[in-house]
Structure formats: C-alpha cells, structure tokens
A and B are shown apart, each in its own frame.
Chain A
Amino acid sequence: EAGVTQFPSHSVIEKGQTVTLRCDPISGHDNLYWYRRVMGKEIKFLLHFVKESKQDESGMPNNRFLAERTGGTYSTLKVQPAELEDSGVYFCASSQVTSGNPQYFGPGTRLTVT
C-alpha cells in the first residue's frame, strides 16, 4: 500500500510569488492534515479535512494560505503571495478515522522563499 505522497519535494520561489503544494493521502483515508515546521520550531498543525470538507483550519496563519480538497481525494495548499516567513517544511498526513487515530506523514515539501 502506497504511503502519503507530496509534490514537489522542494520548491524555491521569490517573495511575492505563488506556490501550490500537493498531497495525496493513503488510499481510503478520509482524513487529511497539513502541518508545517519552520526552522528551529516544532511541527505545527495547519488544518484538517474530512473528505472534501474543512473540519478545522484553526492553524492557518493568514489568508495568504488556501487549502482545497476537491472530490475528497488529493489536497492542495496554495500560498499567495509568499513571504519570507513562509519558508519551512510542509507536511501532509492522513488517517482512517478521526478522534485520536494515528496519523501517517508524507515526506514533506521544503519551501524556500527568497
């Protein structure tokens, strides 16, 4: 069974540009999560989808970040316009059931904003 996949693995963009990250969860996992780790900090929650619906987006830093999960399969996270402080590693995770079940992480996308 394939794990969580993310694309691209690394992205370097200039301040003010737009970047879109993609996550494909484990097949059959209705729950999809986005997390971010900025340099020297802990991994922080961004948002949670159940199928195509946003269940919790309390961790989204501001309205420059837009997440979608059309059709309840893969998800995209768009940053527009990117700022320097958006640099970090963006992880996607998925789980079968909510409420405390283990979450399985993808390899992450390392975003560098220059």
Chain B
Amino acid sequence: QKEVEQNSGPLSVPEGAIASLNCTYSDRGSQSFFWYRQYSGKSPELIMFIYSNGDKEDGRFTAQLNKASQYVSLLIRDSQPSDSATYLCAVNVGGNMLTFGGGTRLMVKP
C-alpha cells in the first residue's frame, strides 16, 4: 500500500463546475497536509495547506481534512481551463520531509 494515494485521472470537468480531488494516506501520525499544483514541465506550486480537521477555504479553493478516515480533499469551485494541471497531495508525517502522492491530472473543458 502506498503511503499517499491519489487517483491518477484524468478528471475531466466542464468549465464552471466544481472539481473534487481526493487523497488518502496511510500513517495516522500524519500532521500536515498540502496541495500543490503542477503544470507540465514546471515546479510544484503550493496552493493550500491544512493542519486541522474540517474545511479551510481560500478563494475558489477549499481543502477538507478528515483524520479519522485518513483522507484529505481539494475542491475547486468555478473551475477554469487555466486550472488544468496535475494536483499533488503531500503529507508531513513527522520530521520535515513531505511524502507525495502520484498526482491527479485535472482537465477543465471550455
């Protein structure tokens, strides 16, 4: 079992819809959770981080964390074609290193 799992996709949504990206993790000691966006050939760009159970909103993005079920999700409201990218879930178990999932490719169709 991988430590951080994501559906590789592609996840295809129409412009203006809500995109829902999910991530599960195996280590119950995980403390910090991050979502990065990566355009092809570019570096991972931090878009959200969450530490506590519940929802955290920032503009069109909402991160949701459920430690009991060991999942973290990212919702993108009013999806735009420019949101088309690979979204990486990263988890900090303890110490400082990040453990990444394989990423979900999102395609927003005009």
- C-alpha gap A99/B49 in the complex (Å): 13
Partner of B43, one of A41, A56, A107: A107
B residues less than 8 Å from A99 (CB atoms): 96
Least CB distance, B92 to chain A, in whole angstroms: 5
B28 to chain A, nearest CB (A): 16
Chain B residue numbers with a CB within 8 Å of A25 are none
Interface size class of B (residues with CB under 8 A): 20 to 34
Q: Is the CB of B31 within 8 A of A107?
A: no
Residue interface mask B35-53, A partner, CB < 8 A = 1: 0100000111110010100
Determine whether the beta carbon of A56 is less than 8 Å from that of B36.
Answer: no
Determine whether the beta carbon of B100 is less than 8 Å from that of A106. Answer: no
CA distance A56 to B95 in the complex (A): 9
Binding site for B on A (CB under 8 A): 4, 31, 33, 35, 41-45, 48, 55-56, 58-59, 91, 95, 98-108
